[in-house]
Amino acid sequence: MPQTIYVLNGPNLNLLGTREPAIYGHATLADVERLCAETASSVGVTAVCRQSNHEGQLIDWIHEARDKQVSGIVINAGAYTHTSIALHDALVGVQIPTVEVHVSNVFAREDFRHHSFIAKAAFASLCGFGIDGYRLAITGLAAKISASSKS
């Protein structure tokens, strides 16, 4: 049975494809989820994709990941990246390998986007690759999980 990873998307990511396409592109959240499912399958894991505009729901899914023995998490916390100590604490608390991903290059944007509470709880962060960042995150996460299971 393949290992499961969670792909968690935070606030406003349901607007992908229509929200500021010059920054985020024209791909929709459905496109992201399709890419994640295909990539996960190609590396031998199963992706469960979820999106919420609510911080508490994201935290509940992170806790659920521990309870269900999920092997890894890919998270795009959206604006919560820059504000949520609670998401940081949840990720640290569950001790599940996590990759942070952002569609845009947050470091080429407003100064407030240059700080990430999530990055401190993740083993890797990706930004600026568009939705292809999810493919890279899942591929890297699968490699990390595989390496951990062999040691």
Catalytic site positions: 24, 102
Pair 84, 117: CB distance under 8 Å = yes
Q: And the tokens for 19?
A: 């929200």
Q: And the tokens for 149?
A: 């299971």
CA distances from 133 to 36, 56, 63, 68, 76 (A): 10, 25, 24, 25, 10
**Closest Cα to residue 137, out of 2, 3, 5?**
5
What is the chain's alpha carbon radius of gyration, rounded to the nearest angstrom? 14
Angle between helices 29-42 and 132-150 (to 10 degrees): 30
DSSP class per residue in 17-34: TTS-HHHH-S--HHHHHH
